[in-house]
Chain A
Amino acid sequence: MVASANARLRLEAAHLTALFGQHRAVRDVSLLFPAHTVTAIIGPSGCGKSALLRCLNRMHELTPGASVQGEVLLDNVNIYAANVSPIELRRRIGMVFQRPTPFPTMSIYDNVAAGLRVNGHRRRLDVDDAVGLALQQAALWDEVKDRLHTSALALSGGQQQRLCIARAVAPQPEILLLDEPTASLDPAGTQRIEELCHALKRLYTIVIVTHNMQQAARVSDYTAFMYLGSLIEVGKTNEIFTKPKVEQTEAYITGRFG
């Protein structure tokens, strides 16, 4: 397992299995996500990396026929325990998806405020402050500060994705899950998101799913390699990429398969 004795434990998957009907998309994965680090999950398409990510905020179970076995511990509490509300949980864990998903009927401001308002923050000044802070954290403030009340759809793809990051961080979650956040962006947009990962890990524990190995190498502290639903290897990113212990990992990162 990850040698992370110093980092405070935040999130841990323990013998986690994710199923679509009978199909096991994630097979008995145990994995630690140390606090204030970026953990990258890599692997070929269909290896279960997105399914694993979606188990961490209980989004997986929303797919009809999907189910989860095993545990996910957040501060040593199993988030699949009967007394944990998935809605409350998702307010503690922000998520950003492959494609930007700004709410089309809302302005830039309202998009960022959406998560705050659903959390019960209604005082105008509080929301103003939080929206400004979130947009600054997402490095979008300078570009949109003069048009906060215009449609979010007028933004470019990269800006929309940073808007989604702002929306996810506005309620001040503890964990940030990024599901291939740069898959639909150009290189410039990708670079800005990667820079954000570095900046935001001081505030949040970040888990990023990516099929781009260079990206994993650039942004993450730890890298987990998955194949056919199983966790093959996990370790410090520079070790995984320079001296992987498992043959399969080496084959994948050197481009011999996947």
Chain B
Amino acid sequence: MTVVVVLFSFVAVLALVLILGNLVVKGASSIDWAFFTRNPVPAGQSGGGVANAIVGTGIIVGLAALIGVPIGVGAGMYLAEYGSGRLGFLVRFIADVLNGTPSIVVGIVGWTFIVKPTRGYSALAGSVALAILMIPMLARTTEEMVRLVPHSLREAALALGYPRWRTSLKIVARTALGGIVTGCLVGIARVAGETAPLLFTALGNLNFSVDITQPIQTLSLQIYVYATGPFEEWHRLAWASALVLMALVLVISIAARWVTRQRYGRFR
């Protein structure tokens, strides 16, 4: 039994090692200063970088977090503190369904409700699609984190004459803050690598752009285009982009762990 379990865990770890190893072998050699600072060059030429995609990823994920974090965390607070009634049940159910929705469907929704009415693909539409993916994740993790706060703390605050809303914000939310921040970072890391919802919303852009009303490039879209293209040079850049995206997600995940560790370390 133990042997089987150890074997399976080994296989699970092996997958990550293989992915990372493969990316480093095929991508690392293409990463240089120009990769980060230059924009793509016309097809067929060599050189160029993915500066536009890196900046675009930052803009689109940042904007998605700006939209998604307040709504997701707010909904989670509501569910944990006031969500025992029928409305709470409904919100929880919808969040669960939304959590299981394939991301490409969210992309089509973004296209239908934002791209079509505004007559144009845009970074903003992509951010909204990513935010829609983030909100149910954040709502449920926030709810769980807030529920972990002992009931006795709530009572202690109420007995001191704290109004209920102030108990929720000053005592409960602050106590759960480490967990909520971790949840947000994990949510951001997850959507940072999304491609499908962006195909119909942000579209991609071979030029450098910071205009959120225009199509924008992201690392994931860049990988999609370059990896499926015919040129050796593109494949090289796709591998390198994949390595950078993977590293980005890894850094965010590690930051999330670090925030949690801080919390326990400080109050041990």
Measured as residues with beta carbon below 8 angstroms from the partner, the interface class of chain B is: 20 to 34
Shortest distance between the CB of A185 and any CB in chain B (Å):
15
A164 CB contacts on chain B under 8 angstroms: 156
Q: Beta-carbon contacts of A89-101 to B below 8 Å, as 1s and 0s?
A: 1110011010101
Interface centre among A57, A95, A104 (most CB of B within 10 A): A104
Closest B residue, CB atoms, query A89:
B161
Q: Is there an interface contact between B155 and A153, defined as CB atoms closer than 8 Å? A: no
Asked if A103 and B157 sit within 8 Å, CB to CB, the answer is yes
- How far does the Cβ of A120 sit from chain B's closest Cβ, in whole Å? 10
In the bound complex, CA of A89 to CA of B159 (Å): 9
Chain A residues contacting B155 (CB-CB under 8 Å) are: 59, 62, 97, 101
**Chain A residues with CB below 8 A from B171, complex form:** 103
Within the complex, the shortest CB–CB distance from A170 to chain B, in Å, comes to 9
Contact A115 B161 (CB under 8 A): yes
**Residues in B166-182 with C-beta less than 8 Å from chain A:** 166, 171, 174-175, 177
* Best-buried of A59, A95, A105, A171 by chain B (most CB within 10 Å): A105
The 4 A-B residue pairs with the shortest CB-CB distance in the complex, in nearest-first order: A91-B161, A101-B156, A95-B159, A115-B160
Q: Could you jot down 12 A-B contacts, CB within 8 Å? A: A59-B158, A62-B155, A62-B158, A64-B84, A89-B161, A103-B156, A104-B175, A115-B161, A118-B160, A118-B162, A118-B166, A153-B268
Residues of B within 8 A of A (CB): 84, 150, 152-153, 155-163, 166, 171, 174-175, 177, 266-268
Q: Spell out A's residues near B (CB within 8 Å).
A: 57, 59, 62, 64, 87-91, 94-95, 97, 99, 101, 103-105, 114-115, 118-119, 151, 153, 164, 167-168, 171
